């Protein structure tokens, strides 16, 4: 990847707000929200919300709550708005909450540091660019199609953290800015997730809660996926057209047998990740372990001395430190809302807006509700468990089918995840690419707006055609 520069680093440049400061302002706004929103609660069966059971709770507000020496708890009676103390204690609590993902992200960085030190990545990328004559449009299109297919059919998203540094090296060799890597990977992955043709991570939770078989109704989701991916690829290619590119490609040297072995080991590790996530339901801790083991394998195959490999691993982890911190800060938002018992009130307010309209408007309202909830609950399964039991009956009474409700759920959460500052995975993508949040928003905003219009139009069409 490119060396960190004042204009492209994740920390931003002079005149740009640091991503940590952005998240701190979000946390401050969340604290204020706990004082403005009434406390309330739904009854639950396990993690599932029971519709129609919302009730307001007595709550302590103002200075008594703000200056309290302890953080409020989800079971405290009466409920209490967040205090200054809770605002700060939520940060380490958010780090603990996101620890599995944080360590996985940092070990991805360590593994890439070792891999880069072997020289295999740079040599392999140079070889690839020469084989394709440096056709950045062809490379970008192929990469985005493959990544989007993995996302929409298999639910890949965190697995792509290891891809971003590789795409970053391609961009570096072509003289492209750091934004290239996150544009290619981020747009493809997020579009795939928003459409989710057979994504088991999203559909296995949302469809049973809506009362329809898992993976049913795939045809309209596939159509939406094709349209959105075509728009996403066109958007990124138009962005590339505006950029100066290298006219002379780097000379491709013959890969040594060790470098070839490193690349083959990387492919083997990728296969292990796929098998583990699909066959044995591996999550962040197991994936982190794979990255550690793969780092050892790459250092041995690459012929690195133990001390050199250790230095490379630590340096790679250091490059992901900001990503880990941002994930923890994002987790603090949910902790503050839950502690003050206002999360259910937000859900009640958002879902209440949907009722009493024509079916087409209800469908787009469902999508809008999921977009709002995604800011506070970026987790797909968590958002489904809370929102689907409430939204499905509302949709049914308004003449919106369960399948359309699921599609609205997917589109709302998937699209909002492109831009929300509380998405730990988005922040990790940006940090891995060394792109600031502000730079990403300026880039993605036009595409986000277009995809929202496409999504709303698709929901109207599906409702009118009687899906």
Question: In this predicted model, what pLDDT tens digit does every residue of 345-394 receive, in sequence order?
Answer: 988 888 788 877 788 899 999 999 999 988 888 878 778 888 888 888 88
Residue 2 has pLDDT above 60, yes or no: no
Rounded to an integer, the average pLDDT of 409-428 is 90
DSSP string, 192-241: HHHH-SS-HHHHHHHHHHHTS-TT-SHHHHHHHHHHHHHHHHHHHHHHHH
Per DSSP bridges, beta strands 55-56 and 40-41 are antiparallel
Domain edges within the chain: 99-196+217-323
Please give the pLDDT value at position 5. Answer: 36
**Distance (Å, whole) CA 248 – CA 388:** 54
Please give the pLDDT value at position 38. Answer: 94
Rounded to an integer, the average pLDDT of 186-200 is 92
**Distance (Å, whole) CA 37 – CA 277:** 39
Average pLDDT, the chain: 86
Please give the pLDDT value at position 79. Answer: 94
Neighbours of 186 (CB within 10 A): 27
């Amino acid at each position: 990847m490119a060396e960190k520069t004042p204009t492209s680093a994740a920390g931003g440049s002079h005149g740009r707000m640091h991503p940590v400061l952005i998240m701190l302002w979000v946390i401050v706004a969340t604290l204020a929200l706990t004082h403005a929103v009434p406390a309330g609660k739904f009854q639950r069966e396990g993690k599932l919300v029971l519709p129609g059971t919302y009730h307001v709770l007595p709550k302590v507000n103002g200075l008594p709550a703000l200056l309290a020496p302890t953080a409020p708890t989800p079971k405290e009676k009466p409920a209490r708005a967040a205090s200054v103390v809770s605002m700060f204690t939520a940060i380490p609590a958010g780090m603990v909450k996101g620890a599995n993902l944080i360590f996985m992200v940092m070990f991805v960085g360590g593994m890439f540091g070792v891999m880069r030190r072997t020289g295999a990545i740079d040599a392999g990328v140079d070889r690839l660019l020469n084989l394709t004559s440096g056709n950045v449009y062809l490379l970008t299109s192929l990469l985005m199609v493959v990544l989007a297919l993995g996302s929409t059919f298999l639910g890949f998203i965190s697995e792509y953290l290891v891809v971003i540094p590789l795409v970053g090296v391609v961009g570096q060799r072509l003289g492209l800015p750091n934004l290239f890597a996150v544009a290619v990977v981020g747009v493809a992955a997020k579009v795939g997730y928003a459409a989710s043709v057979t994504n088991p991570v999203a559909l296995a939770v949302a469809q049973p809660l809506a009362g329809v078989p898992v993976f049913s109704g795939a045809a309209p989701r596939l159509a939406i996926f094709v349209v959105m991916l075509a728009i996403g690829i066109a958007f990124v290619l138009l962005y590339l057209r505006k950029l100066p590119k290298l006219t002379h490609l780097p000379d491709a040297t013959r890969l040594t047998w060790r470098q070839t072995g490193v690349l083959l080991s990387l492919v083997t590790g990728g296969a292990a990740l796929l098998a583990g996530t699909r066959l044995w339901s591996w999550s962040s801790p197991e994936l982190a372990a794979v990255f550690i083991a793969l780092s050892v394998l790459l250092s041995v195959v690459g012929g690195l001395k133990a001390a050199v490999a250790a230095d490379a691993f630590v340096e790679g982890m250091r490059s992901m430190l900001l990503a880990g911190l941002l994930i923890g800060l994002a987790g603090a938002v949910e902790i503050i809302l839950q502690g003050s018992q206002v999360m259910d009130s937000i859900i009640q307010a958002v879902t209440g807006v949907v009722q009493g309209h024509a079916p087409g408007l209800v469908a787009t309202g469902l999508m809008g509700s999921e977009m709002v909830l995604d800011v506070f609950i970026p987790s797909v399964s968590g958002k489904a468990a809370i929102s689907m039991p409430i939204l499905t009956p509302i949709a049914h009474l308004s003449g919106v089918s369960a399948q359309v409700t699921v599609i609205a759920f997917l589109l709302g959460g998937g699209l909002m995840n492109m831009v929300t500052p509380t998405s730990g995975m988005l922040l990790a993508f940006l940090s891995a690419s060394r792109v600031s949040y502000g730079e990403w928003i300026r880039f993605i905003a036009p595409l986000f707006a277009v995809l929202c219009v496409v999504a709303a139009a698709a929901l109207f069409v599906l409702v009118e055609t009687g899906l």
